[in-house]
Amino acid sequence: FSANSNATGMSSEVLDDYEEGTYTVTGYDASSGGNASSTTITGYYTKIGRQVTVTFYAWNNIDTSGMTAGNQIFFSLPFVASAYRSVGSVAHHGWTYNADTNMQDIKPITSASKARAYFKTVGYGQADNTVKVSDITSGADDIHTLTITYFV
């Protein structure tokens, strides 16, 4: 072991890059930013080295006014994600998913090399699809909780 190593051989600087904070979560209708939703919420993050965990609660009554219905919906992240895709979990209410009756869940997924993520539907007996602006009833649908861990 070197003078800077611990019993596992890891450098003592492993946790030197630790940060906790908040950021404003905003919805968009394009991966490049697009038209923004006026509904925002405070998100919470913890960054340890390259790993970031994001959580937010009660993004209520998402306003999609001015957003393009056929576009995917994205939400902001506090840091630009790496090129590797990460998948998280979300609790939601009210989304129709283009009338897919076998819908079981949606998953947040990071956009490669962007400070944004999007949602994808997952469920029994259906194709996986991205969630579009039109899948959200403006001013009525909610995200109760969201957690995603990704790398920068």
Name the more confident of 150 and 11: 150
- Residue 52's pLDDT band (cuts 50, 70, 90): very high
Mean predicted confidence (pLDDT) in 72-81: 95
- Residue 39's pLDDT band (cuts 50, 70, 90): very high
Q: Cα separations (Å) of 30 from 26, 42, 52, 71, 84?
A: 12, 21, 23, 7, 19
Residue spans of beta strands (DSSP E) within the chain? 18-28, 36-48, 51-59, 74-76, 89-93, 103-110, 116-123, 142-151
- Residue 46's pLDDT band (cuts 50, 70, 90): very high
Residue 134 DSSP symbol: G
Mean predicted confidence (pLDDT) in 83-100: 71
Name the more confident of 135 and 151: 151
